[in-house]
Structure 1
Amino acid sequence: MTEPWVSVEDVAAHLGVAKDSVYRWIEGKGLPAHKLGKLWKFKLSEVDVWVRAGGAVDSDDKPAPTSTRSAKRGSTR
């Protein structure tokens, strides 16, 4: 059985994001999408691979710095 093509709305619901995010990811992040006339269509398996490969991560997303404040709190100077 072949995988069905889904809409922007379906992808947004699948990922739990706004449709605007999906359009932004198509333009700037290479979200795998296929334009059929005026409509964007997707295979959810391709979208899932893209997400797992880090495609949705913003370039300015950085891990939160670890706080050394609590470690220093008990020390005396």
Structure 2
Amino acid sequence: MGVAVQMAVREVMDIRQASEYLGISGDTLYRYASEGFIPAFKLGNRWRFKKSLLDAWMDEKSGVKPATPVAVMPRQKKPVARAR
């Protein structure tokens, strides 16, 4: 019986970490970032990827609707009839 080893995922990842997280090659991820297809930014001359933005991007591409908070309005009390 093997022990599952969970990969530590950082919030900001480099090409290697992000490509492992997404399950694609580093070359493909580099091309996606260069073309603006995937959310990424450059820190110096190196691409960086925010996990939260990658997750949101994957949700968008897969058609998952983001969880939107539902506003709950407090109930209005009915006016009380005056005692006579």
* TM bracket, shorter-chain basis: 0.5 to 0.7
2:15 to 8, 26, 30: 8
TM-score for the superposition, normalised by structure 1: 0.58
Give % identity. Answer: 30
Inter-partner Cα distance in structure 1 for 2:60 and 2:22: 14
Moved over 6 A (4+): none
User: Alpha-carbon deviation of 1:4?
Assistant: 3.3
What is the Cα-based RMSD across aligned positions, in Å? 2.0
Report how many aligned residue pairs link the two structures.
53
The structure whose residues are more often helix, as a share, is 1
TM-score for the superposition, normalised by structure 2: 0.54
Structure 2 alignment gaps of length 5 or more: 1-9, 63-84
Structure 1 alignment gaps of length 5 or more: 56-77
The structure whose residues are more often strand, as a share, is 2
